[in-house]
Amino acid sequence: MKSVKEISDITGVSVQTVYRRLTKVKAKTSEVLTEKTDGMIYFTEIGEKLILEELNSVKQMENTEILYLREQNKLLTEKLASLAEDLARLTENSQVLLREQNLKALSPPPDKFSLWSIIFKRKG
């Protein structure tokens, strides 16, 4: 017979998790899963088997979820890199446009001829 702490060490989960899963397993079955001896809770053979199955299924679900989240993280990282590239291009384009506007502002204005200056051209 193994204690809750031993099951916790075997499966790599916390003692709290073992207790939580134990209550769920107890709700599913009418079997005697634990015995209390000297103030310590020990699993019966059936209880040990059922709790290990429960904890392993939880681990498998967590591993599946972790793999899914890693894939999502990879996709989002790629999208973020793409957006960063787009932002760099937009920044470069805006800098080019600003330079062009500054050059236009600094260049001398073209000579303006009004209709009256052409008609009444002074001969000099």
The beta-strand segments (E) located in the chain are 2-3, 34-37, 40-43
For the structural domain made of 2-98, what CATH number should be given?
1.10.10
Amino acid 94: pLDDT: 94
SS3 42: strand
Amino acid 75: pLDDT: 96
Amino acid 81: pLDDT: 96
Specify the long-range contacts of residues 24-32, CB closer than 8 Å, at least 24 apart: 24/54, 25/50, 25/51, 25/54
Amino acid 103: pLDDT: 84
Q: pTM, whole model, 2 decimals?
A: 0.49
Task: Give yes or no for a contact between 3 and 40, defined as CB atoms under 8 angstroms apart.
Answer: yes
The parts of the chain modelled with pLDDT lower than 70 are: 108-114, 116, 118, 122-124
Nearest to 52 by CA among 12, 7, 9: 7
